[in-house]
């Protein structure tokens, strides 16, 4: 059994992740997958690149697939009998329909076998109940039978109940049970009936829908007499086979295989009943809700899961992960839809009409579609906030509005599960929101505070224009942001705040070039503060590349070189101001290794997964310390070593400031107004030393600096050399620490087994020798 199977993951999903080369679940996966499969709300905080997407995607896919299979089975039965002209109420099943125990309509702690015939509940404290996927119209005028075989010594109660009855059979007015202690139960009234039963006994459960209706039982083929008469108010209801167990196991037979004892005269097996008698459980339950809901529920076309992501690119990546992990799930296949803004809504609406089971999107587009009724929510059972802290900080209203509209599904297996994931999940806002939208969430917190993975080395390059005067050189030409366009910059003003600020910007671009050359960077992700900074850096790198950057037209693939890999400075841009097509093309060119540098804003700070990326550079520190953790977490993923370098100015830098959301001050009509915002302009003074202080406080450690010749701090260089590690490659020669730990764990057992095997073999050979010599 593989390590993923041990977590309860179904073989189709295990196969898919093994094809991706995942040998063992990562720690967050090992913790979160069983919790989600068990039905809990989960808040998971784990380092960047530690496999959080798989930790929620795998169990979500599994549960959604199970639910869908169940619906398709029930829906198919309902529609085929509908075509046969049966009951006008719809939801009438074909006689050949497969009636099994439901994996949906059960208590969480009761397990149902994959063939839907055996139920097991190992709780000694509480009863676990389950109903069948088909029911019988009490008004059908027929007589139906099914059998239950008790497999062990625990307690069992068997019988019939309506789809809305308590799963604890016989404890309300909608259920009728017969228990192993020899009692019949209805409305919590337990009266002596028949005789006790236990392990090995076969109980026949009869529903007689003639003459007002009654329920009776047999034990090992012996009829025990009528147990209940159906009260008049229940004679229009649908009754489903139901059992409940306490630390027990039982197997049902609805008639697919021969019965242990023949049904009493006039009774027929559930599965042999005419179509007009039988109703699918899903239809029975759906009938209680709106008719449109029932219709769509039957074909399973509404989302079961809503996943919010803070950025379009990340949403697309997550949707692709769902498609990849779920590729072996068939009959039915899972359909994942992507719902992000900035692109034509029509194909997305069409997709919703065709049916989507997992909806992944960004807050704006998702709330638009929810409020206009395009994304129906009445079937949703998972609400996932990936990068939850960012979503909650930026879009608390959207999160709350969507949550308020979701069906909560009670406390059984259909209850809504809320999952919050991030590498930085420790803010007060997250805790407050979790208190509102989660029910007893289980915290999977692998470090207890925000942490940087061991595979990420991070260093600073201090930028001090007062000491480094190379900014006065005219070559290579740099392209700064124009915040000092109206200031007097030059040797004569070299000590003014404005001049030092402009000098910092010039030095940073030149330092970037030196870093690229010194470290012989094959690939690097470069973070800038604004869209405009990205444009200017792109110009700078293109000018170094000497080819002026191919394309560059409106909507074109700016910066892509004919042969990107040969150009040591080839670059593309991924930033909010670029179109979705351009962003997609840029990311894929970078992932494919066609270009060396991906210049980006913080839209790429979270979640974006680029395999074996060796370097990240921060041209400017982010103004939120948690974003630093996410940015540098683009390297050091999946046990690959990576280096993050931050250029940090020793002096304040004047930068553009968007006081109105969406406003690009460098494009504003009064863009020449470079005064600070308190003086009616569009700039602020940015203090990177203070930002660095906040980051170091958050991490609880100081970040080492590179030396002037841009070599690594000694401690890092030594550690790297000792481990034989290289940035962009798996640490420890390709075997992950988890795999090593796992191998160490099983080594002892393997040795023990080997020695047992040796003893068995040698004693067999000795015996054989003795026998041969005895034979002469």
Ligand X SMILES: Nc1ncnc2c1ncn2[C@@H]1O[C@H](COP(=O)(O)OP(=O)(O)OP(=O)(O)O)[C@@H](O)[C@H]1O
Span from 46-54, 88-96, 156-164, 393-401 in contact with ligand X (CB under 6 A): 46-54
CA distance 92 to 72: 14
* Contact flag: residue 241 with ligand X (CB under 6 A): no
* Contact flag: residue 731 with ligand X (CB under 6 A): no
Span from 166-174, 291-299, 606-614, 702-710 in contact with ligand X (CB under 6 A): 606-614
Among 75, 194, 607, 622, the residue binding ligand X under the rule CB under 6 A is 607
Judged by beta carbon, residue 18 or residue 670, the one nearer ligand X is 18
* Contact flag: residue 728 with ligand X (CB under 6 A): no
Q: How many residues bind ligand X (CB under 6 A)?
A: 21
Beta carbon of residue 360, minimum distance to ligand X (angstroms, whole number): 14
- Contact between residue 571 and residue 543 where contact means Cβ atoms under 8 Å apart: no
CA distance 775 to 268: 65
Beta carbon of residue 393, minimum distance to ligand X (angstroms, whole number): 16
CA distance 57 to 323: 10
Residue 218 bridge partners (DSSP): 204, 223
Encode 80-107: b = buried (16+ Cβ within 10 Å), e = exposed.
Answer: bbbeeebbeebbbbbbebbbbbbbbbbb
In three-state secondary structure terms, 694 is helix
Q: Give me the DSSP letters along 445-492.
A: ESSSS----TTEEEEEEEE-TTT-GGGG---S-----STTTTS--SGG
Span from 47-55, 358-366, 374-382, 717-725 in contact with ligand X (CB under 6 A): 47-55
Among 13, 33, 48, 310, the residue binding ligand X under the rule CB under 6 A is 48
Among 105, 389, 481, 609, the residue binding ligand X under the rule CB under 6 A is 609
Q: Closest Cα to residue 650, out of 542, 749, 746, 507?
A: 507
Among 302, 637, 654, 731, the residue binding ligand X under the rule CB under 6 A is 637
According to CB under 6 A, which residues from 470 to 499 bind ligand X? none
Q: Cis link prior to 519 (omega < 30° from 0)?
A: no
CA distance 258 to 262: 9
Judged by beta carbon, residue 49 or residue 465, the one nearer ligand X is 49
Judged by beta carbon, residue 140 or residue 307, the one nearer ligand X is 307
In three-state secondary structure terms, 348 is helix
Judged by beta carbon, residue 450 or residue 653, the one nearer ligand X is 450
* Contact flag: residue 604 with ligand X (CB under 6 A): no
- Contact between residue 424 and residue 629 where contact means Cβ atoms under 8 Å apart: yes
549: tokens are: 């950057």
Judged by beta carbon, residue 24 or residue 108, the one nearer ligand X is 24
CA angle at 296 for the pair 294 and 297, rounded to the nearest 5°: 60
Q: From the CB of residue 673, how many other CB atoms can be counted at a distance below 10 Å?
A: 14
Beta carbon of residue 736, minimum distance to ligand X (angstroms, whole number): 7
355: tokens are: 């049916």
Judged by beta carbon, residue 15 or residue 664, the one nearer ligand X is 15
According to CB under 6 A, which residues from 50 to 69 bind ligand X? 50-54
* Contact flag: residue 381 with ligand X (CB under 6 A): no
Beta carbon of residue 459, minimum distance to ligand X (angstroms, whole number): 20
- Rg (alpha carbons) of the chain, rounded to whole number: 33
Intra-chain end-to-end CA distance of the chain, in Å: 47
Judged by beta carbon, residue 151 or residue 320, the one nearer ligand X is 320
Judged by beta carbon, residue 363 or residue 633, the one nearer ligand X is 633
Judged by beta carbon, residue 76 or residue 638, the one nearer ligand X is 638
Judged by beta carbon, residue 165 or residue 452, the one nearer ligand X is 452
In three-state secondary structure terms, 540 is helix
Which residue has its beta carbon closest to ligand X? 51
Beta carbon of residue 624, minimum distance to ligand X (angstroms, whole number): 15
Among 7, 16, 22, 444, the residue binding ligand X under the rule CB under 6 A is 22
Among 7, 41, 43, 49, the residue binding ligand X under the rule CB under 6 A is 49
Judged by beta carbon, residue 418 or residue 499, the one nearer ligand X is 418
Judged by beta carbon, residue 251 or residue 455, the one nearer ligand X is 455
* Contact flag: residue 108 with ligand X (CB under 6 A): no
Encode 16-27: b = buried (16+ Cβ within 10 Å), e = exposed.
Answer: bbeeeebebbbb
Task: Quote the strand ranges of 485-523, DSSP E.
Answer: none
Beta carbon of residue 605, minimum distance to ligand X (angstroms, whole number): 9
Beta carbon of residue 598, minimum distance to ligand X (angstroms, whole number): 15
* Contact flag: residue 638 with ligand X (CB under 6 A): yes
According to CB under 6 A, which residues from 412 to 441 bind ligand X? 423
Beta-strand relationship, 524-527 and 653-656: unpaired
Beta carbon of residue 307, minimum distance to ligand X (angstroms, whole number): 12
Judged by beta carbon, residue 424 or residue 683, the one nearer ligand X is 424
Q: Closest Cα to residue 582, out of 541, 613, 554?
A: 554
CA distance 698 to 376: 41
Span from 20-28, 287-295, 472-480, 487-495 in contact with ligand X (CB under 6 A): 20-28
Span from 42-50, 271-279, 352-360, 752-760 in contact with ligand X (CB under 6 A): 42-50
In three-state secondary structure terms, 36 is helix
Judged by beta carbon, residue 611 or residue 701, the one nearer ligand X is 611
Q: Give me the DSSP letters along 598-655.
A: EEE-GGGTSS---TT--EEEESS--SSHHHHHHHHTTSS-TTB-EEEEEEEESS-EEE
Judged by beta carbon, residue 253 or residue 318, the one nearer ligand X is 318
* Contact flag: residue 582 with ligand X (CB under 6 A): no
Among 90, 116, 175, 633, the residue binding ligand X under the rule CB under 6 A is 633
Q: Mark residues 167-206: x for contact with ligand X by CB under 6 A, - for none.
A: ----------------------------------------
37: tokens are: 């499969």
- Contact between residue 525 and residue 616 where contact means Cβ atoms under 8 Å apart: yes
For helices 52-83 and 11-19, the axis angle rounded to 10 degrees is 140
Residue bearing tokens 């059908």: 140
Residue bearing tokens 């080839």: 570
Chain contacts with ligand X (rule: CB under 6 A): 20, 22, 24-26, 29, 48-54, 423, 606-607, 609, 611, 633, 637-638
């Amino acid at each position: 059994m593989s390590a993923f199977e041990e977590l309860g993951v179904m073989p189709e999903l295990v196969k898919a992740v093994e094809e991706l080369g995942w040998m063992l679940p990562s720690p967050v996966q090992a913790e979160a997958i069983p919790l989600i499969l068990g039905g809990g709300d989960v808040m998971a905080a784990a380092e960047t690149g530690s496999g959080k997407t798989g930790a929620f995607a795998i169990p979500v896919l599994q549960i959604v697939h199970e639910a869908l299979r169940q619906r398709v089975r029930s829906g198919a039965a309902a529609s085929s009998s509908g075509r046969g002209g049966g009951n006008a109420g719809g939801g009438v099943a074909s006689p050949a329909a497969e009636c099994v125990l439901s994996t949906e309509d059960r208590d969480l702690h009761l397990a149902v076998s994959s063939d839907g015939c055996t139920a097991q509940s190992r709780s000694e404290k509480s009863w676990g109940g389950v109903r069948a996927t088909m029911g019988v119209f009490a008004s059908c005028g027929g007589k139906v039978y099914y059998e239950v075989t008790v497999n062990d010594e625990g307690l069992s109660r068997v019988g019939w109940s309506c789809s809305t009855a308590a799963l604890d059979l016989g404890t309300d007015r909608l259920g009728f049970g017969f228990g192993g202690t020899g009692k019949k139960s209805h409305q919590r009234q337990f009266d002596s009936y028949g005789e006790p039963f236990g392990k090995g006994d076969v109980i026949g459960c009869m529903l007689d829908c003639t003459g007002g209706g009654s329920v009776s039982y047999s034990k090992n083929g012996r009829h025990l007499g009528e147990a209940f008469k159906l009260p008049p108010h229940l004679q229009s209801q649908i009754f489903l086979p139901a059992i409940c167990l306490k630390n027990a196991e039982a197997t049902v037979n609805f008639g697919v295989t021969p019965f242990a004892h023949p049904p009493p005269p006039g009774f027929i097996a559930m599965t042999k009943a005419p179509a007009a008698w039988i109703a699918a459980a899903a239809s029975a339950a759906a009938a209680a809700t709106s008719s449109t809901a029932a219709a769509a529920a039957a074909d399973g076309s509404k989302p079961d899961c809503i996943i919010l992501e803070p950025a379009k690119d990340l949403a697309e990546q997550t949707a692709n992960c769902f498609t990849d992990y779920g590729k072996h799930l068939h009959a039915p296949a899972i359909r994942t839809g992507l719902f992000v803004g900035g692109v034509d809504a029509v194909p997305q609406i069409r997709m919703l009409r065709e049916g989507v089971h997992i909806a992944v999107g960004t807050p704006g587009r998702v709330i638009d579609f929810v409020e206009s009724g395009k994304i129906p929510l009445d079937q949703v059972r998972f609400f996932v906030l990936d990068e939850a802290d960012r979503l909650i900080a930026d879009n608390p209203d959207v999160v709350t509005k969507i949550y308020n509209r979701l069906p909560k599904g009670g406390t059984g297996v259909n209850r809504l599960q809320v999952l919050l994931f991030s590498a930085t999940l420790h803010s007060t806002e997250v805790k407050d929101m979790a208190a509102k939208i989660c029910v007893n969430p289980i915290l999977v917190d692998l470090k207890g505070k925000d942490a940087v993975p061991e595979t990420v080395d991070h260093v600073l390059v201090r930028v001090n224009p007062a000491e480094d005067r190379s900014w006065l050189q005219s070559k290579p030409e740099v392209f700064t942001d124009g915040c000092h366009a109206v200031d007097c910059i030059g040797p004569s003003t070299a000590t003014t705040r404005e001049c030092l600020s402009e000098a910092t910007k010039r030095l940073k671009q030149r330092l970037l070039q030196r870093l690229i050359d010194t470290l012989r960077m094959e690939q690097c992700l470069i973070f800038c503060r604004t869209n405009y900074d990205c444009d200017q850096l792109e110009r700078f790198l293109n000018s170094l590349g000497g080819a002026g950057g191919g394309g560059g037209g409106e909507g074109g693939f700016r910066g892509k070189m004919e042969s990107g890999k040969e150009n040591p400075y080839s670059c593309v841009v991924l930033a909010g101001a670029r179109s979705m097509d351009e962003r997609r093309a840029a990311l894929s060119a970078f992932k494919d290794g066609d270009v060396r540098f991906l210049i980006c804003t913080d839209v790429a700070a979270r979640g974006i997964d680029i395999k074996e990326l060796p370097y990240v550079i921060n041209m400017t520190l982010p103004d939120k310390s948690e974003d630093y953790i996410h940015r540098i977490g683009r390297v050091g993923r999946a046990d690959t070593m990576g280096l993050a370098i931050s250029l940090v100015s020793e002096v304040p830098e004047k930068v553009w400031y968007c006081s109105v959301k969406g406003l690009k001050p460098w494009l504003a009509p009064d863009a020449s107004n470079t005064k600070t915002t308190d003086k009616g302009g569009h700039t602020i003074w940015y203090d990177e030393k203070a930002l660095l202080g906040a980051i170091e406080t958050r991490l609880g450690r100081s970040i080492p600096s590179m030396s002037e010749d841009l070599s690594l701090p000694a401690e890092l260089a030594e550690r790297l050399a000792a481990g034989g590690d290289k940035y962009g490659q798996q640490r420890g020669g390709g075997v992950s620490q988890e795999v090593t730990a796992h191998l160490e764990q099983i080594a002892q057992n393997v040795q023990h087994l080997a020695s047992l095997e040796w003893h068995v073999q040698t004693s067999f050979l000795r015996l054989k020798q003795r026998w041969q010599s005895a034979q002469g």
